[in-house]
């Protein structure tokens, strides 16, 4: 079982990555995270929307309303040019972090 606090520091990057792939709405992102991790990691709705607010405030993503679906208009999120640049930086930083952690954590199974 993975500790959620280990991943929490990377939520901005995870969500930016998913929105980079295609414009998405909140519930879709939540389901995608669960699906890709085989339900090993799930994001709470309140956490997800806090991340959205933070990313919008930093101008890394922007929101817009899609067409009407069951019950109303969905709010979609798209990545901005600034968001793409930030994601690229986060990927480079993650690779560096992973290399350093691998130096200490691999080979002891």
Domain CATH code at residue 44: 1.10.10.10
> Into how many domains does the chain fold?
1
Q: Cα–Cα distance between 65 and 41 in angstroms, integer?
A: 28
Domain that holds residue 55: 4-105
Q: Cα–Cα distance between 1 and 4 in angstroms, integer?
A: 9
User: What residues contact residue 11 under an 8 Å CB cut-off, 6+ apart?
Assistant: 43, 47, 51
**Whose CA is closest to 11, among 71, 53, 67, 74?**
53
User: What residues contact residue 92 under an 8 Å CB cut-off, 6+ apart?
Assistant: none
- Over the stretch 57-109, which tens digit does the pLDDT of each residue have? 999 999 999 877 677 788 999 999 999 999 999 999 999 999 999 999 887 66
In this prediction, residues 4-16 reach a mean pLDDT of 86
Looking at residue 26, its pLDDT comes to 94
Give the confidence band of 1 by pLDDT, cuts at 50, 70, 90.
low
Percent of the chain with pLDDT over 70: 91
53 has a pLDDT exceeding 90: yes
């Amino acid at each position: 079982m993975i500790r959620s606090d280990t991943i929490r520091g990377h939520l901005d990057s995870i969500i930016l990555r998913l929105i980079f792939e295609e414009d998405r709405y909140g519930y879709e992102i939540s389901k995608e995270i669960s699906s890709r991790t085989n339900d090993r990691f799930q994001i709470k709705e309140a956490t997800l929307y806090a991340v959205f607010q933070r990313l919008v405030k930093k101008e890394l993503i922007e929101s817009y309303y899609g067409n009407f679906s069951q019950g109303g208009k969905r709010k979609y999120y798209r990545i901005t040019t600034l968001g793409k640049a930030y994601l690229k930086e986060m990927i480079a930083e993650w690779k560096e972090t992973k290399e350093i952690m691998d130096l200490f954590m691999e080979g002891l199974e």
